[in-house]
Structure 1
Amino acid sequence: MALNDGDLAAHLADQAGRILLMVRASGMFGGKALGKAGDQTANQFLCHALREQRAEDGLLSEEEKDNPERLALQRVWIVDPVDGTREYGEERADWAVHVGLAVDGVPALGAVALPGLGEVLRSDQPGEVPPAPDRLRMVVSRTRPAREATEIAEKLGAELVPMGSAGAKAMAILRGEADIYLHSGGQYEWDSCAPVAVALGWGLHASRIDGSPLVYNQQDVYMPDLLICRKEHAKRVLAEVAALQ
């Protein structure tokens, strides 16, 4: 199957999501075993497919042993087979599958599947982001909201919207369910590469919380923080973050 990068990313994210739903519906796994089975099964599919379809590119996956050879490559696929394992296991809808492509460290292309909602959002087919309401909404972790996020939300008079995975939070802005995603608790490259690519493709702002660019395919894949929001809100949010430092 000859697919361009955008179609490949979307197809893989969608198919991995379908596989995950089948694993869950099988009734063979429960609790942590379900999350492990889903992660490993979706990861095998994504990694085998990318090595078959894009053999010359690098690959970085949360569930795969890192290969440092990727650091010398221009193009590296960065995937998260299940972003939000807890939510997946609890049969919630706020989990995602990430398939992103970094080119020279830039999140150039991505697809985020929301299998619980039957939707795939992609960077190369942007839609129109619904307008923000008068009172802004900030998505935060439903289990451990970051201090900076809650303090900034208070300064902005924004409503807190608890939600599961990073991908679900980022896509909530595109879907018109939220306006700001500010995260300062630390993540990894696979948590944000595809969501950031999609957000940028849809015309949103995406950066570190000090305003500097997000750079991928690094030796250390830890990423301390992230801001995704509408461009018209970015300046004020970044200024409020700077005032907290």
Structure 2
Amino acid sequence: MAYERELDIARQLAREAGALLLQYRDNVGAVIDKGGNSPQSEADRASNRLLVEALHSHFPEDGILAEESPDTMRAHTHRRVWVIDPLDGTREYLEGIDQFVVQIGLVVDGRPQMGVVYQPSSDRLYYGIVGEGAWLEHEGATTPLRVSERSDLATFRAVVSRSHGEGITDEMLKRLGITDVARIGSVGMKVAALLEQRAEVYIHPSPHTKLWDTAAPEAVLTAAGGVMTDCHGRPLVYSADVVKNRYGVVASNGRAHRKIISIVSPLYRE
């Protein structure tokens, strides 16, 4: 299996970082505002340190792009880049809501190839390798993951941001004819809903998400048969030059992705 060693190490590190986050829950330490209504806690920083130091030790030749590290430009000169979100869903974490995850993705030649998304509060570990498959580890069992086969938009269920409400999102869902909508924190948690066939589409038509929000979830979703693009149907660009997903994110089970984009893209331009 390709990236087998990388996956084994990433799974172990995600669990270690998740355990650390649970330890901090009763005392998150100093919280700062990074700007853009984006908080950062000591838990974020501690998880970030653990992951960056361990990955650098195991893979010293690889680049690392981590949310809480000051030097994100290291990704620019490396063919392989680890893209890390040490705590995706910080707002929910601080509010005591169990909608936060640890995310570790490996981007090779500009595309996510392997990803791990770990929800420590429920001990659910989602992981996948593009071209190999995706799986869920939970309660001692490993279950293959595959996205829903639904293709009729009228039957689709959507997940959207809990903390970044956008009027345009509601308009897009209305045009798509989707009325079954859940608001969830954390990109990883929203993609998990697609992986477990609890939803078929996730729409985020704003530049709020960053590469570390999407790298690991995109790898696992792709491995499970789904698709993630920007709001115009183009691949997300994993370059250290711009860490924002400037044209939003649309993730789906892939069965009606072109149709979704044909409806969403004109609204995004407006």
Q: Distance in 1 between matches of 2:191 and 2:45?
A: 24
Q: How much has 1:96 moved relative to structure 2?
A: 1.1
CA contact (8 A) 1:141 1:164 kept: yes
Runs of 5+ consecutive residues of structure 2 not aligned to the other structure: 33-38, 135-144
Matches within 5 A, 1:138-149: 138-149=158-169
Quote how far apart the aligned CAs of 1:131 are. 4.6
Q: Is the 8 A contact 2:28 2:41 kept in 1?
A: no
Aligned residue in 1 for 2:137:
none
Return the letter of the residue paired with 1:165. S
Deviates further, 201-210 or 213-222: 213-222
Q: Equivalences for 1:32-111 in 2 at 5 Å?
A: 32=31, 36-111=41-116
Residue aligning to 1:28: 27
What does residue 258 of structure 2 align with?
235
Is residue 2:213 matched to residue 1:195? no
TM-score (norm. length: structure 1):
0.91
1:179-218 superposed matches below 5 A: 179-186=200-207, 187-218=209-240
Aligned-residue CA RMSD (Å) = 2.1
**What residue in structure 2 maps to residue 128 of structure 1?**
146
How far apart in 1 are the matches of 2:66 and 2:189?
Answer: 18
Structure 2 Cα separation of the partners of residues 41 and 110 of structure 1 = 21
How many residues get paired?
241
Is the alpha carbon distance of 1:189 and 1:153 closer, same or farther for their aligned partners in structure 2, counting shifts above 3 Å? same
Identical pairs, percent: 32
Amino acid in the other structure paired with 1:231: G
Kindly provide the amino acid, as one letter, of the partner of residue 66 in structure 1. Answer: D
Q: Deviations over 1:216-237 (max 9, x none)?
A: 1331211121111011120211
Structure showing the higher helix proportion among its residues: 1
Q: What is the CA–CA distance in structure 2 between the aligned matches of 1:147 and 1:233, rounded to whole Å?
A: 23
TM-score (norm: length of structure 2): 0.83
Q: State how far apart, in whole Å, the 2-side matches of 1:70 and 1:10 are.
A: 21
Structure 1: segments with no counterpart, 5+ residues: none
Cα contact 1:17–1:113 (8 A) shared by 2 = yes
User: 1: distance between equivalents of 2:78 and 2:61?
Assistant: 9
Give the deviation of 1:4 after TM superposition. Answer: 0.5
Provide the residue aligned with 2:140 in structure 1.
none
The amino acid across from 1:218 in the alignment is A
In structure 1, the partner of 2:157 is: 137
For 1:67 and 1:235, the matched residues in 2 are separated by: 33
Distance in 2 (alpha carbons) for counterparts of 1:75 and 1:234: 28
What is the CA distance between 1:31 and its match in structure 2?
8.4
